[in-house]
Amino acid sequence: MKKTLTFSLLACAALTPLYAQHAIILAPLEITSTPLKSNELQATEAVEIYTAEDIKNAHAKDLYEFLNTQTSLIAMPSYGNPFTQKLDMRGYGIGDGYQNIVVTINGRRLNNIDMIPQLLSSVAPESIEKIEIIKSSGIVANGDGANAGVINITTKQTNDKEFAFFGGAYGAFGTSAYLGHREEQFALSAGLQTKKSDGIRTIDGEGNKDRNKLTNGTFALTYNPHESLEFRYGAMFSRSDVIYGSYLTQSEYDANPTQAGATNSGANRQRYATNALSAGVSYMPSQYLSLNLDANREKKKSEYVTYDSRADYLYDSAKLSLDFDDDTFALSLGADLFEGTRDSHATSYAPTNETTKENIALYLITRATFGAHAIKAGVRGEKVTYGYNDATTNLEDKHTLYGAELGYNYAFDKENSLFASYAHAYQAPDIDRFFTITYPAPTFTRTVLFNGFINPMKSDTLTLGYNNITPSNKLKISVYYIDLKDEIYLEPMSYVNTNIDASSKYGVDIYDKWILSEELNAVFNYNYVQATIDTEENYANNKLPGVSNHNAKATLSYMPNPRATLALTQIYRSKAYAVNDFANNFAQKQKAFTTTDLSASYAKDNWEIFAKINNLFNRKNALWIEDDAIYPVNFATTASVGFKLKY
Contact 85, 97 (CB under 8 A): no
Opening angle at CA 278, ends 277 and 279, nearest 5: 135
Q: SS3 helix, strand, coil % of the chain, rounded to 5?
A: 10, 60, 30
Opening angle at CA 615, ends 613 and 621, nearest 5: 155
Average pLDDT, stretch 355-379? 96
Least confident of 382-391, 523-532, 535-544, 593-602: 382-391
Range of the domain at 630: 2-646
Least confident of 1-15, 77-91, 197-211, 531-545: 1-15
506/479 Cα distance (integer angstroms): 8
- Torsion, CA 388, CA 83, CA 138, CA 534, rounded to 10: 80
The per-residue pLDDT for range 216-234, each reduced to its tens digit, is 999 999 999 999 999 999 9
Res. 4: pLDDT tops 50? no
Higher pLDDT, 204 or 581: 581
Res. 11: pLDDT tops 70? no
pLDDT band at 448 (very low <50, low <70, confident <90, very high): low
Nearest to 514 by CA among 475, 562, 567, 467: 475
Least confident of 215-219, 246-250, 391-395, 466-470: 391-395
> Distance between alpha carbon 275 and the CA centroid of its chain, in Å?
19
Task: Give residue 437's pLDDT.
Answer: 56
- State whether the Cα torsion 87-93-96-102 is positive or negative: negative
If one counts the domains in the chain, the total is: 1
Task: Give residue 10's pLDDT.
Answer: 39
Task: Give residue 490's pLDDT.
Answer: 87
Average pLDDT, stretch 64-77? 95
Res. 529: pLDDT tops 70? yes
The per-residue pLDDT for range 144-177, each reduced to its tens digit, is 999 999 999 999 989 989 999 999 999 999 999 9
pLDDT band at 5 (very low <50, low <70, confident <90, very high): very low
Task: Give residue 12's pLDDT.
Answer: 41
Average pLDDT, stretch 491-501? 87
- The residue type found at 604 is K
pLDDT band at 392 (very low <50, low <70, confident <90, very high): confident
> Distance between alpha carbon 542 and the CA centroid of its chain, in Å?
27
Task: Give residue 447's pLDDT.
Answer: 53
Average model confidence (pLDDT) across the chain: 91
377/405 Cα distance (integer angstroms): 5
pLDDT band at 440 (very low <50, low <70, confident <90, very high): low
429/487 Cα distance (integer angstroms): 10
Nearest to 462 by CA among 81, 151, 48, 46: 46
Res. 580: pLDDT tops 90? yes
pLDDT band at 452 (very low <50, low <70, confident <90, very high): low
User: What CATH number does residue 386 fall under?
Assistant: 2.40.170.20
Share of the chain above pLDDT 70, in %: 93
Nearest to 457 by CA among 480, 478, 479, 486: 486
Task: Give residue 643's pLDDT.
Answer: 96
Q: What is the CA radius of gyration of the chain?
A: 24
Task: Give residue 449's pLDDT.
Answer: 58
End-to-end CA distance of the chain: 33
Res. 394: pLDDT tops 50? yes
Task: Give residue 414's pLDDT.
Answer: 95
The SS3 of residue 607 is strand
Opening angle at CA 597, ends 69 and 162, nearest 5: 70
**β-pairing verdict for 101-105 and 149-155:** parallel
Question: 471 preceded by cis ω (within 30°)?
Answer: no
Average pLDDT, stretch 398-418? 97
Task: Give residue 2's pLDDT.
Answer: 41
Average pLDDT, stretch 311-333? 96
Give the Å distances, CA to CA, from 133 to 146, 183, 476: 11, 30, 13
Task: Give residue 263's pLDDT.
Answer: 87
* E strand residue ranges, 412-540: 416-427, 435-438, 447-450, 457-470, 473-491, 496-515, 520-535
pLDDT band at 399 (very low <50, low <70, confident <90, very high): very high
The per-residue pLDDT for range 87-139, each reduced to its tens digit, is 999 999 999 999 999 999 999 999 999 999 999 999 999 899 999 999 999 99
